[in-house]
């Protein structure tokens, strides 16, 4: 007989995991592993329940798809193809419409993170050519990638994680046909929202290099006064550092002391670190001019080549997040230097080396040729500036590869063999065609993600085996008592939706799945209905920038603030929810 303490221990562990992901005390993957280990040591679940996740086909499929997507990204001139697709777009609405179709279609079969990473620099460049700020396009880009991922089973890892839970609990797996119609409906609804009234809610943010104002991304840049500087002994006023256009001197760091605000009469001394905030181009000109101010040690790419500046964003679950710059070994790891840092809504100060990086931070990097050649293998950074793309192979070679790959995947969808097997065959084709660079491929394997997903499966098992899921399911039924299956379904959707906007999608699914599993038995309805409910709710991550990886990726490049996502995300959430619940209502006749 299962004792009540097991329920409460499991719920306590889950509650602590949620709090940790909101407060970011420790890495999500580590917190999930620790939570699973606690439950194993407490005999709530067996060690086998944890280890089984490593052989779960749905989890393995996620990583095979990541490798396939990365290989496609590294071997084909995607930007060139985008130019062909969008050359006819002449208005913001026309561009959003075409972008929604392309991004939604690609996201339905490929990992949406690299798709967004490829589109950000293209959108920045297209917007500049048209005189339109990228902030009008980057939130729609993220949202269209999210909704497009719901068109197929493989479009987002959330769907595959859910199938992992179903497989673990011997439930019938969801297939492509289960996602196709509702996925197309929510994607079409989201696209229609943005090409009609959505533009009203989108902010109009200026580019950081246009002018210096409160609406612009503010970069903090650290400079150094060397012993041979012409400025030593001069006051700030005499050195003309008070009248710089588009930039101002925020503070002086002298040994362990911080001087802020800086008086015009302050005398510059040897080894002072001058911290500027503002217009990036002005700061670059200031550092590159022969006036005795030099970039800090952290901006040196260490490759001996001429400095080239690119912008890059730190994605969610990056190893860099939470570390001080000086502890990241950045120069040796990427052969790039951090020239400046921008963080929306927060004015940074102090030495760059002492700044603790966060997900969503925008870095202005000084890079050399090595960085440009290996950018595809960096999963802890996504470049948002346009870089040259390597030329593709021959048309005959590429054409035959795509024909064989599409045929292989089609056979998997048709059930000739499993999807996992079909994707392994595509990887084999990539090896035969010599598209795969194994050095880069190894770097695409996200160990943190693997540990998080495997631990999430174990936590879901604990919620079911301890009886905690049944208890929570009964509470949800009690709250919606007398209202029928429809309101119970809406309650489950809203609960999962709230979770996914503040914690990771796998976490939301791992908490919601046991509830859906228990509800399907308590309410005597097809489990498929509740499983689809939590799948679509877990991807309804529009209200906060932390709700989904792609939201964080566009956060810095779009110069957005948290409130921008709330303002755009709330109506988008209403549209998405209304469409999906309506679909469920008619499909399962929930009004009777």
The predicted structure's pLDDT at residue 423:
82
- Total domain count for the chain? 3
The boundaries of the domain holding residue 235 are 208-379
User: Do 267 and 260 form a contact (C-beta atoms < 8 A)?
Assistant: no
Strand ranges, E, within 83-127: none
Domain assignment present for residue 327? The answer is yes
- Kindly report the pTM of this predicted structure: 0.67
Same-domain pairing of 255 and 271: yes
Same-domain pairing of 142 and 33: no
The predicted structure's pLDDT at residue 87:
64
Q: How far is residue 533's CA from residue 443's CA, in Å, rounded to a whole number?
A: 34
Same-domain pairing of 109 and 223: no
User: Do 292 and 232 form a contact (C-beta atoms < 8 A)?
Assistant: yes
Same-domain pairing of 75 and 121: yes
Same-domain pairing of 176 and 218: no
> Could you please report the per-residue DSSP string of 151-169?
SSTTSSHHHHHHHHHHHHT
Of 472, 535, 464, residue with least CA distance to 505 = 535
Q: How many CB atoms lie within 10 A of CB 141?
A: 27
Same-domain pairing of 503 and 549: yes
User: Do 147 and 186 form a contact (C-beta atoms < 8 A)?
Assistant: yes
Taking the alpha carbons at both ends of the chain, their separation in whole angstroms is 38
Same-domain pairing of 212 and 197: no
Domain assignment present for residue 171? The answer is yes
Q: Give long-range contacts, CB 8 A cutoff, 24+ apart: 49-56.
A: 49/457, 49/458, 49/461, 49/462, 50/454, 50/455, 50/458, 52/168, 52/457, 53/164, 53/168, 53/453, 53/454, 53/455, 53/457, 53/458, 54/450, 54/454, 56/164, 56/167, 56/168, 56/454, 56/457
CA distances from 547 to 33, 127, 205, 281, 302 (A): 21, 26, 22, 33, 36
Task: Supply the Cα-derived Rg of the chain in whole angstroms.
Answer: 26
Q: How far is residue 97's CA from residue 191's CA, in Å, rounded to a whole number?
A: 7
The predicted structure's pLDDT at residue 390:
46
Q: How far is residue 107's CA from residue 183's CA, in Å, rounded to a whole number?
A: 11
Domain assignment present for residue 48? The answer is no
Same-domain pairing of 230 and 309: yes
Q: Which tokens sit at 541?
A: 């991550």
Angle at 245 between CA 244 and CA 248, to 5 degrees: 55
Q: How far is residue 381's CA from residue 525's CA, in Å, rounded to a whole number?
A: 45
Q: What is the pLDDT along the chain (592 residues), one digit of tens a residue?
A: 445 778 888 878 878 877 776 676 777 778 888 888 888 888 888 888 788 878 777 778 777 877 777 777 667 766 566 666 666 666 788 888 988 898 898 888 877 877 887 788 778 777 777 778 788 889 999 999 999 999 998 888 888 888 888 888 888 888 889 999 999 999 999 999 999 988 888 887 554 434 333 334 567 777 788 888 888 888 888 887 766 666 777 788 888 788 877 888 888 888 888 887 765 556 666 666 666 677 766 665 554 445 567 778 887 667 788 888 888 888 777 777 787 787 765 667 667 778 888 877 888 887 766 676 666 666 678 777 654 444 445 677 878 888 888 888 888 777 777 778 888 888 888 888 888 766 666 666 777 777 877 887 787 778 777 777 777 767 776 776 556 788 888 888 988 888 788 767 777 888 888 888 888 887 788 889 999 999 999 999 898 877 787 887 787 777 788 788 889 999 999 999 999 999 999 998 877 6
Same-domain pairing of 371 and 273: yes
The predicted structure's pLDDT at residue 282:
62
User: Do 97 and 191 form a contact (C-beta atoms < 8 A)?
Assistant: yes
Same-domain pairing of 214 and 186: no
Domain assignment present for residue 471? The answer is yes
Query: What's the CA dihedral at 319, 381, 111, 558 to 10 degrees?
Result: 120
Domain assignment present for residue 403? The answer is yes
Same-domain pairing of 202 and 89: yes
Domain assignment present for residue 385? The answer is no
Of 188, 184, 168, residue with least CA distance to 176 = 184
Domain assignment present for residue 295? The answer is yes
Domain assignment present for residue 110? The answer is yes
CATH number of the CATH domain containing 260:
3.30.70.1450
Q: How many CB atoms lie within 10 A of CB 439?
A: 9
Same-domain pairing of 201 and 295: no
The predicted structure's pLDDT at residue 391:
47
Of 474, 513, 479, residue with least CA distance to 496 = 513
């Amino acid at each position: 007989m299962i004792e009540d303490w097991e329920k409460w221990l499991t719920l306590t562990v889950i509650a602590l995991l949620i709090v940790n992901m909101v407060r970011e005390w420790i890495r999500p993957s580590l917190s999930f592993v620790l939570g699973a280990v606690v439950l194993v040591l407490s005999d709530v679940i067996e060690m086998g329940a944890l280890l089984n996740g490593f052989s779960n086909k749905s989890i393995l499929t996620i990583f095979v798809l990541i490798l396939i997507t990365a290989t496609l990204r590294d071997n084909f001139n995607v930007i060139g193809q985008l130019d062909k697709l969008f050359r006819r777009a002449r208005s913001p609405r026309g561009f959003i419409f075409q972008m929604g179709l392309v991004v939604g279609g690609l996201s339905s079969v490929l990992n949406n993170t690299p798709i967004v990473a490829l589109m950000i620099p293209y959108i920045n460049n297209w917007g500049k050519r048209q005189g339109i700020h990228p902030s009008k396009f980057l939130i729609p880009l993220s949202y269209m990638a999210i909704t497009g991922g719901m068109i197929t089973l493989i479009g987002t890892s959330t769907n595959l994680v859910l199938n992992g839970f179903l497989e673990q609990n011997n439930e019938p797996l969801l297939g492509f046909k289960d996602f196709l119609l509702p996925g197309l409906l929510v994607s079409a609804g989201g696209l229609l929202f943005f090409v009609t009234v959505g533009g009203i809610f989108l902010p109009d943010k200026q580019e950081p290099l246009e002018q210096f104002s409160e609406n612009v991304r503010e970069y903090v840049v650290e400079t150094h006064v060397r012993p041979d500087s012409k400025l030593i002994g001069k006051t700030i006023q005499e050195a003309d550092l008070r009248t710089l256009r588009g930039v101002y001197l925020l503070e002086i760091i002298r040994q362990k002391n911080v001087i802020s605000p800086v008086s015009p009469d302050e005398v510059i001394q040897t080894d002072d670190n001058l911290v500027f905030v503002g217009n990036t181009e002005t700061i670059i000109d200031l550092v590159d001019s022969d006036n005795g101010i030099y970039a800090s040690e952290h901006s040196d790419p260490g490759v001996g080549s001429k400095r080239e500046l690119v912008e890059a964003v730190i994605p969610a679950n990056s190893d860099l997040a939470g570390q001080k710059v000086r502890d990241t070994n950045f120069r040796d790891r990427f052969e790039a230097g951090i020239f400046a840092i921008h963080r929306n809504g927060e004015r940074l100060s102090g030495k760059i080396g002492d700044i603790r990086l966060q997900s969503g931070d925008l870095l202005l990097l000084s890079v050399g040729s090595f960085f440009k050649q290996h950018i595809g293998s960096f999963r802890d950074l996504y470049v948002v500036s346009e870089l040259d793309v390597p030329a593709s192979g021959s048309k005959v070679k590429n054409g035959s590869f795509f024909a064989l790959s599409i045929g292989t995947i089609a056979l998997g969808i048709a059930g000739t063999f499993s999807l996992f097997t079909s994707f392994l065959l595509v990887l084999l084709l990539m090896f035969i065609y010599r598209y795969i660079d194994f050095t880069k491929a190894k770097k695409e394997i996200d160990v943190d993600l693997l540990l998080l997903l495997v631990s999430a499966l174990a936590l879901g098992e604990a919620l079911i085996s301890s009886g905690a899921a049944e208890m929570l399911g009964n509470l949800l039924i009690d709250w919606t008592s007398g209202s029928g299956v429809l309101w119970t379904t809406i309650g489950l959707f809203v609960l999962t939706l709230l979770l996914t906007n503040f914690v990771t999608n796998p976490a939301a699914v791992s908490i919601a799945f046991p509830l859906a599993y228990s509800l399907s038995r308590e309410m005597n309805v097809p489990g498929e209905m509740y499983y689809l409910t939590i799948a679509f709710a877990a991807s309804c991550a529009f209200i906060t920038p932390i709700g989904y990886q792609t939201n964080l990726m566009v956060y810095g490049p779009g110069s957005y603030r948290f409130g921008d996502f709330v303002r755009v995300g709330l109506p988008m959430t209403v549209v998405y929810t209304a469409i999906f619940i309506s679909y469920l209502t008619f499909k399962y006749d929930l009004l009777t």
